[in-house]
Structure 1
Amino acid sequence: MTSDKRPPFPPFTDETAQQKVQAAEDAWNSREPERVALAYTEDSEWRNRDTFLRGRAEIVDFLRDKWQRELDYRLRKELWAFTDDRIAVRFEYEWHNEEGQWFRSYGNENWEFDEDGLMRRRYASINDLPIGADERRVAV
């Protein structure tokens, strides 16, 4: 994996912050851990629920495991706020487990970017709600 630059770059405007959020949504919906990890610095710090990660290799391993458990994962992100090098988003995603139980997971993320547009910190708080298949909002 390389540490290419990832436009748009800070400082963010409303337009470029929206572009960053859409790019993240698109990448996560690919369910390709290596693709997702390229948006983060080599030593990126994460808190995802109660899991703490550091670096792209840990991110890739985490996402592989996540998408083996969270089947037919589909995500929507919404820009909440931004500053020069930080973005806050609200999100929800739907998935089901091996037994067929559907969930909608809600959360907030705080992102911090370096000058090359790579995310150096990601802090996510997430809650899961069991739902029926007929309650789904996100198309797979």
Structure 2
Amino acid sequence: MSSNAQTRPPLPPFTRESATEKVRLAEDGWNSRDAEKVSLAYTLDTQWRNRADFVENREEAQNFLIRKWNKELDYRLIKELWAFTDNRIAVRYAYEWHDDSGNWFR
């Protein structure tokens, strides 16, 4: 990945408290549904796969999120710390949203 990424505290080495804070900050960012803000948390050359969608850089990630949140109304993400080491964090997440017909998805 690119070295152009901005640093986003808290940084490694992680403690339970700092890992939990990092997860919560990421959760809050996604729940803002601000595609530009969220995309800035990723490197310029980020790569994502979401079902049939393949995202190859930060600009594509931002556009993906705009499309996602235009379709997935009232999107709400819950992230929980699952495990951590001094330099890695694993999360469990769940989210819900509804479409423009009022059908909820969880």
Aligned to 2:16: 14
Flag the structure with higher strand content. Answer: 1
Alignment of 1:101-140 (within 5 A): 101-104=103-106
CA-CA distance at 1:83 after TM superposition: 2.3
Structure 2 vs 1, CA of residues 69 and 91 (structure 1 numbering), >3 Å: closer, same or farther? same
Question: What's the RMSD between the two structures over aligned residues?
Answer: 1.6
Alignment of 1:31-50 (within 5 A): 31-50=33-52
Runs of 4+ in 1 over 4 A off after TM superposition: none
Flag the structure with higher helix content. Answer: 2
Cα distance in structure 2, aligned partners of 1:48 and 1:74 = 17
Give the 3-state SS of the residue equivalent to 2:48 in structure 1. strand
Report how many residues are paired.
Answer: 103
Structure 2 vs 1, CA of residues 26 and 66 (structure 1 numbering), >3 Å: closer, same or farther? same
Between 3-12 and 13-22, the greater mean CA deviation after superposition: 3-12
Percent identity reads: 61
Gapped runs of 5+ residues in structure 2? none
Counterpart check, 1:87 vs 2:89: yes
- After superposition, the C-alpha distances for 1:86-122 in whole angstroms (9 at most, x for unaligned) are 2211111111011110111xxxxxxxxxxxxxxxxxx
Gapped runs of 5+ residues in structure 1? 105-140
TM-score (ref. length: structure 2): 0.86
